[in-house]
A and B are shown apart, each in its own frame.
Chain A
Amino acid sequence: MNWLALSALLIATAVVSVWMIRKWHRDKVILTPTEKERLMLKLTEWRASWDMFRGNKLGFSGFVILIAYIIMALFAPWIATVGDPMETSNQEPEHADWDNPHSPTLAPSPYTGFVHPFGTDNIGRDVFSMTLFGARASMAVGLFATLISVTVGVTVGLLAGYFGRYSDEILMRFTDYFLVLPWFPLMIILMTVLGQTFTNVIIVIGITSWPSTARIVRSQVLTVKERAFIERARAIGAGDAHTIRVHVFPNVLPLVFANTVLLISIAIFTEAFIAFFGLGDPDMVSWGTILENAYYFGAFDTNAWWWVTPPSIAISLCVLSFAMVGYALDEIYNPKLRSR
């Protein structure tokens, strides 16, 4: 997972620096007056959107919860009562007056000195810390899987919508075919074929969730394509690549943005059940894995509610908050919904 984050960061820096150098060569200044003006305009636009978002109670409360989750994921090792719950030395050993799973207690344990506010699981791992670390897996999947899915979806949608005719027919039939495939058995099979690693979880979620994006992008491109400014751009000799990049794509972007947030919630939910059904990476702490362990090691027979409740609530609340933000964004950016 670390190398994934690292490579993403590297690619981002490379893209940004190449762009900066090319721009410097062309203009010899960082910001031309036109660009400054354009940036100011963008800023006012963003502020208007932000105000509208602020006004949406449901969306804004979802956003606040999301921030809390992101903080959880980023600072997990520092917030957690146990440094790294997977470390063997940090696990609570069995003793005469301490049996695992142990119910929640705020008093430090007499053996390792750790506090277990949510109790421990069957091998003495701290449930509170595991729940915190689980946020990392979910956020990573949400981010990277959605990145894959949006990239594929937007590309297919743009190509199908812009070029129309045969490419549209072929690409959309391909998309429909993916929509028809039952995704759960497909994921089970793909995970068995590819092997159970965290990267594969991300890839599998990414390549099974793109069709909805492709459909949304295509329908939006179809309406944008007919507008007058596209015709004007083409009349003064803009090529296809230029038209798509400069005129079509920015107009499609807002809708994609709202859809992306919804996709993240689906990706997080999907990761949780892939892990719950034991198809995920066994070495990765995730909410689904905690639930899987609880299910298989009889938390439900022994009434170890503290082992089951935190991850369940964490998943539900996380998915819910992403969905709330997604709907709010949809309401702001989708012109069909805005007027109501």
Chain B
Amino acid sequence: MNKRKFLAKKMVFLAITLFAILTTNFILFRVMPGDPALAFLPKGASEEVIDMVREDMHLNDPLSVQFYHYIIDTIKLDFSVTTVYPPAGTEVVDIVMPRMFNTLLLIGVGLIIAIMAGVWLGRFAAWRRGEAADTFAMTFTLLFYTMPTFILALALLIFFCGNLDWFPLQGAYGELPFVSNPPRYSDMSLLEKIVSRSYHIAMPVLAFSLQMMADFMLIMRNSLTDVLTEDYIVTAKAKGLSHRQVMNDHAMKNAMLPVVTVIALAMGWVVGGEIMVEIIFSYEGIGQLTWAAVEARDYPLLQALFLILAVGVLIANMISDIVYVYIDPRVSL
């Protein structure tokens, strides 16, 4: 298949999916119970004020016109203002943006650790298939793979942050290790900022990446055992190539393909697990904000967050498609 053609097809699908997500997002929040205009206003507002707000939010227009306005506003990154989330009436973008960095940091660090460790462990287990090391690695991963993320996160929170008090209980930054009265975050030096952030992020990343790691390891191992039974691996061994050469030059290249696909498909799960971890560790990111928005029934905020999360997953999928093009020998020029 042609590389360009493949990518073009993917892009068209991406555009269609994006439109479908926008539509879903629009419809979901139109069937929500309650009048958005009333949620926006203080109790006991007069009839005229309510009408004015409704007109301003295009609520009096037919659905098609509302949809048109919704699309236009989204393209302009105008997500309206929050109705409940304090302080009410803030631009949604201003609330979301600072938290975006925290979330991306957590996902990025967690995913990199999970992918590297998972692939390495899977490779380790596959090469020693059937040996004690393999059995041990498999039991270990099966345990973490099936343990619900929120229970793992809770256990880590209780032991390491609660009982032992080695790590901070909440937040994305602020505390410093071995310092009882840390300065304000904005007053810290760059080094202190980095230390503070790593101190806070350590436990959430551990909780988040352990399960992902187990997942990736299982797939890596299964995919590698598939490849290692192929004839060309026997040939490679018979040629007298070393273990390392067989692995790196022959086995890994083909075994990586399904792993990339699975990592791409797992993005929906990644986001879900990340939200749970954020909520339990009170880590100020998008996930925790989603939670706060649900608790407050703040629909404009929730609508924007859902869109951001969905688009995030979509972008991750697109990236993995592009990576796929470069590592799959069948898709080439």
Q: Interface residues, chain A, CB within 8 Å of chain B? A: 173, 176-177, 179-186, 188-190, 192-193, 265, 269, 272-273, 276-277, 291, 295, 300-301, 303, 308, 312, 315-316, 319-320, 323-324, 336, 340
A176-B13, A189-B28 given; A182·B142 CB < 8 A: no
Residue pairs across A and B with Cβ atoms less than 8 A apart, 23 shown, are A176-B17, A180-B17, A180-B310, A181-B21, A181-B24, A181-B268, A184-B272, A185-B290, A188-B294, A189-B294, A192-B32, A192-B294, A192-B297, A193-B28, A273-B148, A273-B149, A273-B150, A277-B279, A277-B291, A300-B158, A300-B162, A308-B158, A323-B145
Measured between beta carbons, the chain B residues less than 8 angstroms from A340 are: 225, 229
CA distance A192 to B298 in the complex (A): 11
Interface of A is mostly: helix
With A273-B148, A300-B158, A312-B151 as contacts: A183 and B268 at CB distance below 8 Å:
yes
Question: Contact flags (1/0) for B139-179 with A, using CB distance below 8 Å?
Answer: 00011011111110011011000110000000000000000
In-complex Cβ contact of A193 among B33, B275, B305 (8 A) = B33
B151 touches A189 (CB 8 A): no
Q: Does B196 contact A (CB under 8 A)?
A: no
- Shortest 7 CB-CB distances between A and B: which pairs? A184-B272, A320-B146, A182-B309, A182-B271, A319-B146, A323-B146, A269-B148
How close is B128's CB to chain A, nearest CB, in angstroms?
A: 15
Cβ of B258 to closest chain A Cβ, rounded Å: 12
- Apart from A181-B24, A324-B142, 10 more pairs, CB < 8 Å: A176-B13, A179-B265, A185-B305, A185-B306, A189-B294, A189-B306, A193-B32, A193-B33, A300-B158, A316-B148
The answer to whether B271 touches A320 (Cβ under 8 A) is no
Q: Which residue of B lies closest to A299 (CB)?
A: B158
The smallest C-beta distance from B308 to any residue of chain A, in angstroms, reads: 10
Contact partners of B226 in chain A: CB under 8 A: 336
Query: B294 to chain A: which residues have CB within 8 Å?
Result: 188-189, 192
Residues of chain B from 252 to 291 with CB closer than 8 A to chain A in the complex:
265, 267-269, 271-272, 275-276, 279, 290-291
CB neighbours of B142 from chain A (8 A):
320, 323-324
Q: Is there an interface contact between B272 and A320, defined as CB atoms closer than 8 Å?
A: no
Report the Cα distance A185→B24, complex, angstroms: 13
Known contacts A173-B13, A319-B146; A188 and B290 CB within 8 A of each other: yes
* Residues on the A chain within 8 Å of B24, using CB: 181
Closest to B155 in A: A312
B314:A180 contact, CB within 8 angstroms: yes
Residues of B within 8 A of A (CB): 13, 16-17, 20-21, 24, 28, 31-33, 142-143, 145-151, 154-155, 157-158, 162-163, 225-226, 229, 265, 267-269, 271-272, 275-276, 279, 290-291, 294, 297, 302, 305-306, 309-310, 312-314, 317
**Which residues on the B side are within 8 Å of A181 (C-beta)?**
21, 24, 268, 310, 313
Q: Do the beta carbons of A265 and B32 come within 8 Å of each other?
A: no
Chain A residues with CB under 8 A of B290: 185, 188
- Chain B residue contacts of A336, Cβ below 8 A: 226
A180 touches B313 (CB 8 A): yes
Q: How far is the CA of A273 from the CA of B153 in the complex (A)?
A: 12
Nearest-neighbor residue (CB-CB) of B218 within chain A: A327
Docked Cα-Cα span, A184 to B271, in Å, equals: 8
Closest to B295 in A: A278
Whether B268 contacts A179 by the Cβ 8 Å rule is yes
Q: Write the nearest CB–CB distance from A92 to chain B, whole angstroms.
A: 25
- Taking CB atoms, residues of chain B closer than 8 Å to A183 are 268-269, 272
Inter-subunit contact A265/B146 (CB<8 Å): yes
Expressed in whole angstroms, the Cα–Cα distance for A173 and B20 within the complex equals: 11
Query: Are A295 and B146 in contact (CB-based, < 8 A)?
Result: no
A319 & B148 in contact (Cβ 8 Å cutoff): yes
Please name all residues of chain A whose beta carbon is closer than 8 Å to the beta carbon of B267 when the two chains form the complex.
180
The 8 Å CB contact of A189, one of B229, B268, B302, is B302
Whether B154 lies near A177 (C-beta < 8 A) is: no
Complex Cα spacing A319 to B145, Å: 10
In the complex, A295→B279 CA distance in Å?
12
Given contacts A183-B268, A185-B309, A188-B294, contact A320 B143 (CB under 8 A): yes
Chain B residue at minimum C-beta to C-beta distance from A186: B306
